[in-house]
A = this chain, B = another copy of it.
């Protein structure tokens, strides 16, 4: 549990699955000034642009990834009036339908919670050291970075 200017932020990089409801309860518990919690859950899709996949492998940079996630979380707490941030990102071998990532933001106000969650996802997609490899009947294939993700992340850089 790190502390970004007094705001509880907690990041995890783990192979294991997580319980979204439990994470939301934990973030909101003990602070009755939280009026809004937004969650984003990313899931492994079976159909990709290259056909059906049987598995996805997520490589990351141990020792660096948690730092990157903490930096991203801290940036969000500096930009929006948040009461809590939680990021969980899985690594290892996942199957279609499995959860990959969870981002939670808690705030008094819904607009801040929504914007911060979008910001966190855009930055995770472009700055966190994870690489996806899709496995299908045709073998393994590293996923290409998408330019629209860069564009989505860029929209935050003009602000404040």
Residues of A at under 8 Å CB distance from B?
19-22, 24, 28-29, 32-47, 96-97, 108, 110-111, 113-114, 117-118, 121, 152
Contact = CB atoms under 8 A, between A and B. Distances in A.
Chain A facing B: main interface SS: mixed
Given A20-B24, A21-B21, A111-B152, A40 B45 contact: no
Given A20-B39, A33-B46, A35-B43, 4 more contacts: A32-B44, A36-B40, A38-B39, A110-B121
Given A34-B45, A37-B41, A114 B117 contact: yes
Given A114-B117, A118-B114, A43 B39 contact: no
Contacts of A37: 39-41, 43
